[in-house]
Amino acid sequence: MTIKLAIFYFLAAFTVWAAAVVVLGKNIVRAAVALIFSFCGMAALYVLLDAEFLAAVQVLIYVGGITILLLFAIMLTSRIGAKTARVINDQAFLSGIAAVGLLVGLIYASTSGIAAISGPPRLPVPETAPFLGRALLTTYALPFEVVSVLLLAAMVGAIILARRE
């Protein structure tokens, strides 16, 4: 086993563990912190795939933006930390059936040769960061700004919901 493969297995196990804490945890603040660890593990896996730009975007947008926004919403909502708040999932049985069905489908796809089909031919990729930066500021400028306004609206909505009358 090479060192890169060992690092991959460690990062994959760490990311899956953090994701399990997010899904199975009963404390919502601890689940949000575990979500940060899960996103950081994904960023490290992107680095192993030589996708440094995706890793940087993962850290900046998901860890630095989305998760912090989620933590603000949790902290501003006063009823979340109350002892009377219910944290039990009523649909655990249905989600378990869906997860087992997805697992069976993935195992079937990976063992039956469906996943062995070759992908599209690799195209020469220009310098990744300048190319993506130019695309974000020209072609995809409107969706980029729409996402910014959506995040701002979510934050304002969390403040309005948390405000005491």
Domain boundaries along the sequence of the chain: 3-82+126-162
Cα 3–47–99 angle (5° rounding)? 90
Q: What is the pLDDT of residue 123?
A: 53
Token output for 20: 């399990």
Q: Which CATH number fits domain 3-82+126-162: 1.20.272.10, 1.20.120.1200, 1.10.20.10, 3.30.70.100?
A: 1.20.120.1200
What is the distance, to the nearest Å, from the Cα of residue 80 to the centroid of all Cα atoms in its chain?
Answer: 22
> What would the pLDDT profile of 21-66 be if each residue is shown by its tens digit?
988 887 888 888 999 999 999 999 999 988 888 888 888 888 888 8
Q: Up-side HSE of residue 115: CA atoms within 13 Å toward CB? A: 8
Q: What is the pLDDT of residue 116?
A: 52
Q: What is the pLDDT of residue 39?
A: 92
* Residue 140 near residue 58 (C-beta atoms within 8 A): no
DSSP 35-49: HHHHHHHHHHHHHHT
Q: What is the pLDDT of residue 44?
A: 94
3-state secondary structure 86-146: CCCCCCHHHHHHHHHHHHHHHHHHHHCCHHHCCCCCCCCCCCHHHHHHHHHHCCCHHHHHH
Q: What is the pLDDT of residue 147?
A: 86
Q: What is the pLDDT of residue 31?
A: 87
| Regions in the chain scoring below 50 on pLDDT | none
3-state DSSP helix/strand/coil % of the chain, to nearest 5: 75, 0, 25
